[in-house]
Structure 1
Amino acid sequence: MVDPKLICRLRCPIEGTPLHLASDSLVESVNEAIVAGEKRDRHDQKISSPIDGGLVNQQGNRLYPIRGGIPTLIADEAIDLNG
């Protein structure tokens, strides 16, 4: 997983606000939606591979996926949590 010392330094690339680690239950729910074909990124591309974890913005409406211990902080690859 991502080093906690690193997480406190990471910021949302869209808003510049701090990010926090997603709960296990949120990651599980996102992965269920990915498997069901219901999750798309900000480019409206279907997300096909499950995530290992995620970083959530302060508003709790966007998740940046973590795969293989590496966070993806590319704005267009964020996962919308509203809907």
Structure 2
Amino acid sequence: MDMDKKLLDILCCPVTKQPVKVLSRDKLKTLNARIAEGSVRSYGDEPVRAALTEALVTDNGERIYPVEDGIPIMLQERGISAREAGLK
């Protein structure tokens, strides 16, 4: 991901206020496998149906936020629990 460092420096989780970083390729691959299985739901209790090409994760590794067309979607209800997705 070519996320602007300045943007990453100011973004934070809307719930925990934790800073965010780019989700690693390995974890993104694992997350997308879980999405393909139909076992991932957002905090808004909606199934996540589409694979993610990019994502951000809180520094503590608890919450994941999708990036769509280069735009981080930092909405609480669109976030994904890393634990529920089997990443933690």
Deviation at 1:70, TM superposition (A): 1.1
Does 2:6 correspond to 1:19?
A: no
1:54 aligns with 55
| Count of matched residue pairs | 83
Q: Distance in 2 between matches of 1:16 and 1:81?
A: 16
Secondary structure at the residue paired with 1:8?
A: helix
Kindly provide the CA deviation profile for residues 37-67 of structure 1, in whole angstroms up to 9, marking residues without a partner as x: 0100001110111111111112211100112
Contact 2:18 2:60 in 1 (8 A): no
Contact 1:62 1:80 in 2 (8 A): yes
Aligned-partner residue type, residue 42 of structure 2: D
Residue pairs, 1:1-83, within 5 angstroms:
1-83=2-84
Deviation at 1:72, TM superposition (A): 0.5
- TM-score, L = length of structure 1: 0.92
Contact 1:2 1:70 in 2 (8 A): no
Q: Distance in 2 between matches of 1:66 and 1:12?
A: 13
Identity %: 28
Q: Distance in 1 between matches of 2:80 and 2:58?
A: 11
- TM-score, L = length of structure 2: 0.87
Secondary structure at the residue paired with 1:14?
A: coil
Q: Distance in 1 between matches of 2:69 and 2:35?
A: 17
Q: Distance in 2 between matches of 1:18 and 1:71?
A: 13
